[in-house]
Structure 1
Amino acid sequence: MTPKWGVVIITALIVLTGLIEVMMGRPIVSKTGRIMLWVGDTGSAELSQQIADWYTFSHVIHGFLFYGALRLLTRRWGVSVWTLAAAAVFIEAGWEVLENTSFIIDRYRATTLAQGYYGDSVLNSVCDILACAAGVALARVLPVRISIAIVIVIELAMLWFIRDNLTLNVIMLLYPFESISRWQTAG
């Protein structure tokens, strides 16, 4: 895939995801109507509604992981970087749609630190996809060791600052542990 077509396909995926979420009834922006660059308070109703928050870093990690996994799976096929990037964005876009279904929203509320979570705004979902694309771009140009180090640093920083990260989020979503939940809410 050429760079031009890569950009066209990635842009189309992002626009399509936004349209699907609007049709699902997701708000385009926060219910308050405000648009903010950063929300650092994990207890705020603006979390997952704005351009970026602590969980944006998890989407950057998605980019590293999706790129790495796709690269490993396709290394013998000579797949272009743009095809890998489009595939990673496709996976992320699919997750964003799934994440905003009542099934996943209810699961998050029941099992994770996000008891007040009511889904993402379209703005937040689009920015999460862009964060994943940024992770893909970084994974493409950085040595594997540096990519792994960045993922570890992000995970540890999130653990330190908000007692949550991608690893804990996946664990608590799939198989919640009461001890993790108690530790997370104690902070």
Structure 2
Amino acid sequence: MTERTRYGGRWALVLVAIALAMGAVLLAMGRLPICACGMVELWHGAVNSAGNSQHLADWYAPSHVVHGLLFYGLFRWAAPGASLGARAALAALLEAAWEIAENTPMVIDRYREATAALGYTGDSVVNSLADLGFMLAGFALAARLPWWGTVLFGLGLELLALAAIRDNLTLNVLMLLWPVPAIRDWQAALPG
């Protein structure tokens, strides 16, 4: 029996526990479990709509995959002696912390003030759980790809989101930390 099979089940349970704890915290914060529209869509592609960040996947899902690529590199460097499962759990904790922080009134208001997301109301719990899943998918992919493949895949996702919605992880971080009015105006001019 390999280390992966011997300890893989334990780490899977840890990841489930992290997801359940994150969901419970978000519900306790008053986040809606699903979209206020009463349904859960597999894909919701309309960025400037009330359904954005409310369903399983949207144009921000690639950003969460990129989180996973980055977190794999971070924890491979910061915890080189840790098992892959332990590093995945650390990445899941970091993603869960972000999902919780992202849905606080302070961060929601910051998105409305500093970015083109004027109507942003936060994520539904199902969307946050899916975002955690997308991060874990990116983490797992980075564990299997060579470093240059991970970099190319991450750049591809960033360029895809940029072309599709004029936003991506890079611009999202920039606009939250140091808003650039010209970028906000360019993003707000996204057709329909």
Structure 2 portions without partners, runs of 5+: none
Deviation at 1:179, TM superposition (A): 1.1
Instruction: Give, in whole Å, the separation in 2 of the partners of 1:122 and 1:168.
Output: 24
Instruction: Give, in whole Å, the separation in 1 of the partners of 2:89 and 2:133.
Output: 12
**1:112 corresponds to which residue?**
115
**1:53 corresponds to which residue?**
58
Deviation at 1:169, TM superposition (A): 0.3
Question: Does residue 38 of structure 1 match 2:43?
Answer: yes
Deviation at 1:124, TM superposition (A): 0.2
- Partner letter of residue 183 of structure 1? W
Question: Does residue 94 of structure 1 match 2:112?
Answer: no
Kept in 1: contact 2:34–2:40 (CA 8 A): yes
The Cα offsets for residues 24-45 of structure 1, whole Å up to 9 and x where unpaired, read as 0000000111110001110111
Kept in 1: contact 2:158–2:168 (CA 8 A): yes
Question: TM-score, normalized by length of structure 1?
Answer: 0.97
**2:187 corresponds to which residue?**
184
**What is the root-mean-square deviation of aligned Cα atoms in Å?**
0.9
Number of paired residues?
A: 185
- Partner letter of residue 161 of structure 1? A
Instruction: Give, in whole Å, the separation in 2 of the partners of 1:172 and 1:32.
Output: 29
Kept in 2: contact 1:61–1:135 (CA 8 A): yes
**2:171 corresponds to which residue?**
168
Instruction: Give, in whole Å, the separation in 2 of the partners of 1:74 and 1:35.
Output: 37
**2:68 corresponds to which residue?**
63
Structure 1 portions without partners, runs of 5+: none
Deviation at 1:186, TM superposition (A): 2.2
Percent identical across equivalent pairs? 44
- Partner letter of residue 152 of structure 1? L
Aligned with 1:116: secondary structure?
Answer: coil
Aligned with 1:38: secondary structure?
Answer: coil
Q: Which runs of 4+ in 1 moved over 2 A?
A: none
Aligned with 1:169: secondary structure?
Answer: helix
Question: Does residue 138 of structure 1 match 2:141?
Answer: yes
Kept in 1: contact 2:53–2:123 (CA 8 A): yes
Instruction: Give, in whole Å, the separation in 2 of the partners of 1:186 and 1:21.
Output: 32
**1:9 corresponds to which residue?**
14
Question: TM-score, normalized by length of structure 2?
Answer: 0.94
